[in-house]
């Protein structure tokens, strides 16, 4: 027995769940909006909630680990190159941005910096 799907019920790639922009090569992009917030905490410190809060506060797009790993996989190439992140976002948080904290702070001296933290014991619980 063969399983078939109608067009609207066919399985979609994971990226389709989050966004329609799943194949942007940001290495070819140029910044069109100012970087306003650098949230440089690592994962599991509230960065996903912070991303939602920043977007609700009007920071149109907040680049988060999900942006690189799920929403737009080609971004992994950009972060691998680790040159200058050319993105059309107003804020960044979580990995991989936290790995480039010093460089991002130097590149965007007018951006506000947020450092999310978590108690070590609760992290491993």
Domain residues of the chain, as ranges? 31-123
Average pLDDT, the chain: 77
Question: In 13-100, where does DSSP find H-type helix?
Answer: 14-18, 47-56, 65-66, 75-81
Task: State how far the alpha carbon of 100 is from the alpha carbons of 59, 63, 81, in Å.
Answer: 21, 14, 12
Look at residue 82 and tell me whether its pLDDT is greater than 60: no
Q: Is the dihedral of CA 18, 23, 26, 29 positive or negative?
A: negative
Over residues 31-75, the pLDDT tens digits come to 788 899 999 999 889 999 999 999 999 998 888 888 777 888 788
3-state SS assignment for residue 39: strand
Q: Please provide the CATH number assigned to the domain covering 31-123.
A: 3.40.50.300
Look at residue 103 and tell me whether its pLDDT is greater than 50: yes
């Amino acid at each position: 027995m063969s399983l078939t799907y109608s067009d609207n019920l066919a399985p979609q790639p994971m990226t389709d769940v989050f966004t329609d922009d799943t194949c942007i090569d940001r290495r070819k992009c140029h910044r069109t909006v100012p970087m306003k917030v650098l949230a440089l905490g690592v994962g599991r410190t509230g960065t996903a909630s912070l991303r939602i809060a920043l977007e609700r506060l009007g920071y149109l797009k907040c680049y988060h680990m999900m942006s690189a790993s799920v929403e737009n996989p080609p971004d992994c190439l950009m972060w691998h190159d680790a040159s200058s992140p050319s993105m059309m976002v107003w804020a960044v948080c979580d990995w991989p941005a936290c790995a480039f904290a010093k460089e991002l702070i130097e590149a965007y001296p007018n951006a506000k910096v947020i450092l999310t933290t978590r108690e070590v014991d609760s992290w491993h619980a």
